[in-house]
Amino acid sequence: MAVIAVENLAKSFNGSPVIEDISFQVSGGEVFGFLGPNGAGKTTTIRIVLGLLQPTAGTARVMGSDLGRNDALRRSVGVLLENNGLYGRLSAYDNLRYYADIYRVADPDTRIRDLLDLVDLTEFAESPIGNFSVGMQRKMGLARAIIHDPAILFLDEPTSGLDPEAQRLVRDLILDLSREKNRTVFLNSHNLDEVQRICTNVAILQQGRIRAYDSVEHLRASEQTPVYLLTLADPAAAERACTLVRGVEGVGSCSVDGDVVTVSLDGAAAPRMLRELVRAGVDLIEARRVTRSLEDVYLDVVHRSGGEV
């Protein structure tokens, strides 16, 4: 059974649709990326899944239940949305102690010390949260979200406001929660490099509909005319190499930039192209197929659906 199952979900406000016919599933232990530009409907979808909004149509289930109607299940869920859920006048320790008491965490002092150490804020344990930087507050928000060791974690832009070192800390923590502790993570992020590194599957939402939904690996490999970069031993041979490969069946285009030749072609044409170059005596240092990044895929999907990033 999927840990999170969304089927034919729709939501309208005052008769205007915000999301329409959304369906996806998230498996246990998976880091799932939920992507889309501002205004695409991501926040609405997340709030319905969390039971904070009622859908106009369709269903959203967490562990087979409506999260908004299952108090016991909510204790298994951790949430970090745009608001860190912290009290500015309380210290870092007191904020975490407040939530530890709500969730009846066993041995709260040890748990709080461990979390403050994890997010590198031990020395600020007695300092008021209101005096923290944006990045420090975000790390505290993450510590607050996982204080009860939830089985499912919803994260909305968890690395927003963090420096590169802190971003890496959060990324490693998410991977540890997923791989070592088999926690399920639902991640909404505009950091596509981060998503590419840690997510298994993603859904791209645009104008209220899912426009792409697959594994990161498959999305990066799909709908792409293969492109090869050929690095030549002799830059002077680049134009000649381009002339040669243009005559190979299946080659679409060829361009030259210094000693690098860029060739687009169908998959079966690559061996024929390389054989032709070797036969003609063109010395190659490297022939490398270019792989699209998740950012390339995301921009293609958004632009094809007529949206702005």
Same-domain check for residues 155 and 266: no
Question: What is the structure's pLDDT at 224?
Answer: 65
Q: What is the CATH number of the domain that holds 247?
A: 3.30.70.100
Tell which residue, 191, 119, 182, has the closest CA to residue 156: 191
β-bridge mates for residue 9, sequence order: 22
CA distances from 24 to 63, 127, 212, 224 (A): 14, 42, 11, 24
Please check whether residues 231 and 205 belong to one and the same domain.
Answer: no
| Residue whose pair of structure tokens reads 């639902």 in the numeric block | 186
Q: pLDDT tens string for the chain (309 positions)?
A: 799 999 999 999 998 999 999 999 999 999 999 999 988 999 999 999 999 999 999 999 999 999 989 988 999 999 998 889 999 999 999 999 999 999 999 999 999 999 999 999 999 999 999 999 999 999 999 999 999 999 999 999 998 888 898 888 889 989 998 988 899 999 998 889 999 999 999 999 999 999 999 999 988 877 567 888 999 999 899 999 999 999 999 998 899 988 889 998 887 889 999 999 999 999 999 998 888 889 988 988 888 776 555
Tell me which DSSP letter residue 119 carries.
T
- Asked if residue 300 is part of any domain, the answer here is no
**231 and 149, same domain (yes or no):** no
Domain containing 125: what range?
A: 4-221
Pairwise CA distance, residues 225 & 300, whole Å: 14
Identify the sign of the CA torsion 80, 81, 87, 88: positive
The distance of Cα 90 from the centroid of its chain, to the nearest Å, equals 32
pLDDT at 85: 93
Residue 26: its H or E element: strand 16-26
Q: Which position has the token pair 């699209």?
A: 292
CATH number at residue 41: 3.40.50.300
The answer on 130 and 264 residing in a single domain is no
Number of domains in the chain: 2
Considering the domain architecture, whether residues 68 and 142 belong to the same structural domain is answered as yes
Same-domain pairing of 250 and 197? no
Co-location of 15 and 137 in the same domain: yes
**Pair (38, 178) in one structural domain:** yes
Same domain, 243 and 203: no
Which residue among 221, 242, 269 closes a domain? 221
For residues 52 and 150, state if they share a domain. yes
Q: Is 299 contained in some domain?
A: no
Quote the pLDDT of residue 285: 92
Phi, psi at residue 279, to the nearest 5°?
-60, -35
Tokens of 91: 């210290």
Residues 68 and 100 in one domain: yes
Cβ atoms of 204 and 298 within 8 Å: the answer is: yes
Instruction: Tell me, yes or no, whether 267 and 161 share the same domain.
Output: no
Domain membership of residue 32 (yes or no) is: yes
